[in-house]
Amino acid sequence: MKNIRIIPRLDIKGPNLVKGIHLEGLRIMGKPENFAKFYYENGADELIYMDVVASLYGRNSLDEIIKRTSKETFIPLTVGGGLRNLDDIQRVLREGADKVALNTSAIQRPGLVKEAAKEFGSSTIVISIDAIKMEDGSYQAFTDNGREETGVDVEEWAKQIVDLGAGEILITSVDKEGTGKGYDIELTRIIANSVSIPVIACGGAGEVWHVFDVVKNGKADAVSMASILHYNIVHNSGTKGNFKTEGNIEFLESNKQFTKIKDASIREIKNYLLKQGLECREVLGEEDRGFVR
Amino acid sequence: MLDKKVVIIDYGMGNLFSIKNACAHVGIESRITSCIDEVLSSDGIILPGVGAFGKAIDTLESLGLLLVIRSSIESGKPFMGICLGLQLLMTESCEFGKHKGLNLISGSVKRFENEVLDNRILKVPHVGWNEIILKEKIGSKSGHTFLKDFNSCEYMYFVHSYYVEPEDKSIVLTTTKYGSIEFCSSIQYKNIFACQFHPERSGEKGLQIYRNFRNLLVGS
């Protein structure tokens, strides 16, 4: 029995859900908690909230969003972005997160992973790796949304993470992220084959087939995606106006579909996986429940 | 809100807040506490837990809660154990050396192996949604109250590396398959319901278990 998890990833900046390309050039999509509720009601297996500016500017505005989300959604919520120490982790867990994703702080001080796993349990600790393919073909871990080079080889790091007691790995290809060109299959397979804990693939989904590809050929245990799902909501219902604006809202105002992405709903993704013989939790009911702004 | 007080036992492990939110959602007033008096005066008990068995037992013991939990369960109070809260009811666990449990249910706690199936390593912990297969025999008995109106297969959310093996198979309410193992994913025995999965993280069907718990409290 191997049930593939479909996990919407919501990148958050201030009060808004945002989406960029290669983790840069953020566009505002709407209120994260509304997207979260919609995904919860329409078949998401888990949710990931990533505060994309927290580790850059040292601020963490997620708290209220987490609190509101955890009262309305009853699936696991992983929160990452700017968590530096055990106190930060404790805080987001107390606000209603079920797991935390650590990246920069874990690479800077691997001992934190061990302490966190001991304090909160291995299954609570997800290590997020942002990987970039180097000229020599190797993959290197980057921090601060793919800006800071670390010199750490991702495969070595993944193995070390398991020894330190982490429960899962979220592997994001910065090269593919937001492009819609498909997941980095090679990267995902390298990690999935070298560790005994579940691996969540992230970055690059541009059509339903890509999700199947990274499970079948990348050996991912779970798949995370953003644009393909967010654009489906914008596509079907539009989310113009009526939210706090901060940053680039050009995309929403133009109301254009992002051309490289063939958007899809979780239902469409799961039905496709099931048809291809993979196992996942079916989305119940005949059609999706509406998006409430 | 229901005029019954439920305590969620806080011994420093696991996400108690999602349990509290689930309780609130179905109209159960709950308190997260490690206070002996509050546990004693409660109308129902939820024992959650994520993490290591040995540490959990030691912490409960040092808080003076081990005996209190045992006597409360024996007094017939509705009790729900979740994840580690199921495992702790057993006689013993082999997690990081042998540890004695509450021994309210005869049986042991075992670990999944990283077996290889279809060229893929079986990942441990077992994380994600999986089917719970209802044991039909129980349907005819007085048990089954927590899974009232459930279909024979429902999906629930799991996160665990260990599973329980009760000696008395008649208390097994559901089983679940992972790798080549079909393990016990929930039990019901007298006033005890305990599950390996996390109903508060298992969507609407999971919340139904909390509603059934609420209905039991009304009747108690």
For the domain that residue A245 is a member of, what is the CATH number? 3.20.20.70
Q: Number of structural domains, chain A?
A: 1
In-domain check, residue A169:
yes
Strand duo A5-13 + A16-21: pairing? antiparallel
Residues of B known to be catalytic? 83, 198, 200
* Rounded-to-integer distance, Cα B122 and Cα A166, Å: 16
- At A278 the pLDDT is 95
In-domain check, residue A292:
no
Q: Which residue among A3, A120, A167 places its CB closest to the CB of B130?
A: A3
B26 touches chain A (CB under 8 A): no
> In which band, very low, low, confident or very high, does the pLDDT at A241 lie, cut at 50, 70 and 90?
very low
User: Which pair of tokens denotes residue B111?
Assistant: 């670990």
CA distance B219 to chain A (A): 26
* φ/ψ of residue B29, rounded to 5: -85, 125
In-domain check, residue A285:
no
> Taking CB atoms and an 8 Å limit, are B157 and A75 in contact across chains?
yes
- At A1 the pLDDT is 47
> Taking CB atoms and an 8 Å limit, are B177 and A95 in contact across chains?
no
Name every residue in A having a CB less than 8 A away from some CB of B: 1-3, 5, 40, 45, 70-71, 74-76, 93-98, 120-124, 167-168, 193, 196-199, 219, 221-222, 280-281
Neighboring chain A residues of B157 at a CB cutoff of 8 Å? 45, 75-76
Residue A159, pLDDT above cutoff 50: yes
> Taking CB atoms and an 8 Å limit, are A45 and B24 in contact across chains?
no
Distances (CA, A) of A189 to A1, A48, A137, A199, B107: 20, 22, 14, 9, 39
What's the mean per-residue pLDDT of chain A? 88
In-domain check, residue A19:
yes
User: Which pair of tokens denotes residue A232?
Assistant: 């489906």
Neighboring chain A residues of B196 at a CB cutoff of 8 Å? none
Per residue in A163-182, pLDDT (tens digit) is: 999 999 999 999 998 889 99
Domain containing A248 equals 5-275
Higher pLDDT, A245 or B153: B153
Q: Is A14 left (phi over 0), alpha (psi -120 to 50) or beta?
A: left
* Residue ranges for chain B with pLDDT beneath 50: 139-142
- At A58 the pLDDT is 47
- At A285 the pLDDT is 79
Active-site residue flag, A163: no
Across chain A, the runs of DSSP E, i.e. the strands, are 5-13, 16-21, 24-30, 47-51, 77-80, 99-102, 125-133, 139-143, 148-153, 168-173, 199-202, 222-225
Residue A49, pLDDT above cutoff 80: yes
Stretch A28-53: mean pLDDT: 93
Question: Which of B201, B211, B210, B205 has its CA nearest to residue B83?
Answer: B201
> Taking CB atoms and an 8 Å limit, are A2 and B120 in contact across chains?
yes
Neighboring chain A residues of B51 at a CB cutoff of 8 Å? 120-121
In-domain check, residue A290:
no
Per residue in A99-140, pLDDT (tens digit) is: 999 999 999 999 999 999 988 888 899 999 999 999 999 999
Residues B77 and B191: beta-carbon distance below 8 Å: yes
The answer to whether the peptide bond before residue B125 is cis (omega within 30 degrees of 0) is: yes
In-domain check, residue A291:
no
- At A55 the pLDDT is 55
Residue A243, pLDDT above cutoff 60: no
Helices A227-237 and A32-41 sit at what angle, rounded to 10 degrees? 90
In-domain check, residue A218:
yes
Substitution target from A67, A89, A92, A123 for chain B, most B beta carbons within 10 A? A123
In-domain check, residue A61:
yes
Task: Show which of residues 177-196 on chain B sit within 8 Å of chain A, judged by CB atoms.
Answer: 177-179
CA distance B75 to chain A (A): 31
Active-site residue flag, A130: yes
User: Which pair of tokens denotes residue B100?
Assistant: 């004695």
> Taking CB atoms and an 8 Å limit, are B21 and A167 in contact across chains?
no
Domains and CATH numbers, chain B: 5-219 (3.40.50.880)
B14 touches chain A (CB under 8 A): yes
Q: Which residue among A1, A70, A196 places its CB closest to the CB of B123?
A: A196
